[in-house]
């Protein structure tokens, strides 16, 4: 990790990465997916990442525009919408079982995560499913090749190139997370 304005920059394979504790599943593949399966997977990933971006765009308002007569009303509406999204996420989490959350760091190039037994085998190919938000039922599903597994259960994998649109959206996801972390450090603490 490198430091940027007092914030540790999350990096993986020399690129900005997204880091969190998220539900995750590794599914080994007996054979590589065919072109139709890859195209379908790519479409689902783009839609999942677009929905995630849309949800994150409606996060808390940093600065209220005093010149706008509706700013306070819009902020209240946004807070209510965020509450509804959180409640929906909680309902989905209860009704649709998810894997246990684990520490994960990923970008468009690959991922590293803390697996539970039985650990994936180095050299195998499979699907890595990452559930980005409680209110999004579809996971981000990437074709990955396991490159290393250590004794502690930390797994490192390189992704089969996920396509330009998916890679761009993953990079934007990581950048938004980094930007929020930097903004959090810059905000003065209230007494």
Q: Is residue 77 over pLDDT 50? A: yes
Q: What is the mean pLDDT of residues 172-187?
A: 80
* All residues at 6 or more sequence positions from 136 whose CB lies less than 8 Å from its CB, including other chains: 48, 51, 52, 55
* Residues 17-58: tens digit of each pLDDT: 999 999 999 999 999 999 999 999 999 999 999 989 988 765
* C-alpha distances out from residue 123 to 87, 107, 147, 151, Å: 41, 20, 6, 16
Q: What is the C-alpha to C-alpha distance for residues 90 and 71, in angstroms, rounded to an integer?
A: 29
Do β-strands 101-106 and 110-114 pair in parallel, antiparallel, or remain unpaired? antiparallel
pTM of the model: 0.79
* Residues 80-113: tens digit of each pLDDT: 777 777 777 677 767 778 899 999 999 999 999 9
User: What residue ranges do the domains of the chain occupy?
Assistant: 2-59+97-186
Q: Smallest Cα–Cα separation from 4: which of 178, 176, 174? A: 178
Give the pLDDT confidence score for residue 131 in this predicted structure.
95
Give the pLDDT confidence score for residue 61 in this predicted structure.
45
With contact defined as beta carbons under 8 Å apart, do 160 and 45 qualify?
no
Q: What is the C-alpha to C-alpha distance for residues 120 and 95, in angstroms, rounded to an integer?
A: 28
Q: What is the mean pLDDT of residues 162-189?
A: 83
**Residue 119 backbone phi and psi in degrees, to 5:** -70, 150
* Homologous superfamily of 2-59+97-186: predicted glycosyltransferase like domains (2.40.10.220)
Average per-residue pLDDT in the chain?
85
Q: What is the CB neighbour count within 10 angstroms for residue 143?
A: 21
């Amino acid at each position: 990790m490198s430091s940027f304005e007092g914030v540790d920059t999350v990096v993986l394979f020399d690129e900005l990465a997204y880091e969190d504790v998220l539900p995750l599943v590794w599914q080994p593949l007996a054979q590589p997916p065919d072109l139709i399966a890859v195209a379908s997977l790519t479409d689902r990933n783009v839609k999942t990442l677009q929905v995630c971006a849309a949800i994150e765009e409606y996060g808390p308002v940093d600065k209220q525009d005093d010149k706008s007569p509706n700013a306070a009303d819009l902020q209240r509406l946004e807070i209510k919408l965020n509450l509804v999204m959180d409640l929906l996420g909680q309902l989905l989490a209860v009704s649709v079982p998810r894997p246990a959350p684990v520490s994960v760091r990923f970008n468009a190039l690959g991922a590293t995560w803390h697996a539970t037994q039985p650990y994936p085998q180095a050299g195998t190919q499979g699907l890595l499913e990452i559930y980005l938000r409680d209110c999004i039922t579809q996971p981000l599903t990437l074709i990955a090749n396991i490159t290393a597994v250590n004794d502690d259960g930390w797994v490192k994998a390189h992704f089969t190139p996920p396509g330009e649109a998916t890679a761009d959206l993953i990079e934007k996801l990581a950048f938004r997370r980094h930007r929020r972390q930097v903004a959090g450090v810059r905000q003065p603490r209230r007494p």
